[in-house]
Structure formats: structure tokens, C-alpha cells
Structure 1
């Protein structure tokens, strides 16, 4: 391997680790939002299901009687429609796609973006 190729690989690795590390704080915030809304929805669902009036009234009236559950459920659906599931796993998506591309060059990378050079196959 020439010095130029080595420098190119080092630059690629630095850029990949930089991209993945910059996504980590954003991913963490989206995970916290998702966990919070999920807990709110579960708490609202618990109170909605254990309410004795739920079985006595219509579905729409039952949802109207439990605005916390209704709003948190709507927010959860809205977040998934906006793509929160992709934002939560963005670093792993990038690293898995890089692994696919790097496999053609007999390399791989870990979840932080560090390159892993595999031994050359014997022919």
C-alpha cells in the first residue's frame, strides 16, 4: 500500500468517525423524545383502559374523556410518520451501509466509524 493510499484511508476514517460522532448527540435527543412520548402514551393507555366509563361510552367519547392519552398517541403516530425511527438509528444505518460498500474492498468498520482491514484472501 502506498503512502497516498494510506493517507486516503486515514482521511476517510476521520471523516466517517466525525460524521457518526456528530450524529450521536442528535440521536440521543431523538431517543429521549421517543422514550418520553412512549411513556406518556403507555401511562395514558393505562388510565384509559382502567377507567370504568370506557366500556360504557362510545370510542370517540372515551378518547374525548382522556385527552392525555389521545394527544400522546397522536404525537407518537405523528413522530413515526415524520421519520423518528430513522433519526433514532441514523448512526447504525450509516455504519451498516459503509460496511456493505467496504466489503468490496476487503474492509469493514465498527459502529464508531473506525476502519477494520481484513486479511487479503489467498488465491
Structure 2
């Protein structure tokens, strides 16, 4: 830190660096999320088309389930692929930028800030001095300490 820099300048630079890193992370994840989304849509459409032909086949009701899947390998393979993709977490990869920004919003709320879907910081107006900051977490002894504080204030 330079001796000529004030605390506010350092804080501003820290916020800018955090915002830049957050936008980089979200920007990096977006193309991958888009690719996973396209893959998911393609496999889902293939599964739906295969299911349509599988259900329209008159043989399906006359043979065993395993034999009907053997008769329709396109449906069996696309359906299996779809199941494997969901088990591997494709649904999380599709929405990964939204997960990152939601978690950042939750943390930034403690600092009276937020961020948009691209990772840009949003500064909220300061809280009034009459209402001090109180975290949302409450400890089991808080009721007791609140009563003690209330008694001391009277």
C-alpha cells in the first residue's frame, strides 16, 4: 500500500478488483453453461422423439420391457445418456453462473451490496444510523442477552 493512498482509495480498488474477478468468473462459465444447455436440449429432444416412436410401436405392448428397449436402441441409448447426464450433474452445470451470482448476492447483502447476472457490483444506499446492523443469525443465548439489554435500558 502506498503511503499517499487513503483507506477509501484502497477499499475502492479492492472493490474494483473483486468486481473484475467476479465478472471474469461469470464470463468464463457462461460459454460452458451454454454448451451444456445445448447438449441437454439435444439429448432431451432425441429422447422425446425416441419415446414417441417407442410408444407408437404396436410391438411394445406385446413384448417384454427389455425386448422393447432392444427393438428401439435409439430411445434406449438417448434415454440412458439423459439419465447419466443428470446423475453427473448437468443440471448444475447449466445454471452454474446463476448459482455463483446467487451465492455472491447472499454474501454481498451483509455489506449492503449486490451484483447483477454478469457479476457487476451494485451498491445499495447506506442504512440509516437509527437501525444498527444486526446479522440474521441468532444464538441460543440471544433471547437472554436481549432481555438483559432491555432491562439495562429501562
TM-score clears 0.5? yes
Deviations along 1:56-97, whole A, 9 cap, x unmatched?
111111111000000000000000111111110000000000
Structure with the larger RCO, 1 or 2 (CA within 8 Å, 6+ apart): 1
Deviations along 1:23-50, whole A, 9 cap, x unmatched?
1111111111100100000000000001
Partner residue in 1 for 2:45: 39
The match for 2:60 among 40, 54, 57 is 54
Partner residue in 1 for 2:28: 22
Partner residue in 1 for 2:108: 102
Structure 1 or 2, whichever has the larger Rg, is 2
The match for 1:92 among 92, 98, 118 is 98
Unaligned runs of 5+ in 1: none
Alignment RMSD (CA, Å):
0.8
Give every structure 1 segment of 4 or more consecutive aligned residues whose post-TM-superposition deviation is greater than 6 Å: none
The size of the alignment, in residue pairs, is 123
The match for 1:5 among 11, 28, 34 is 11
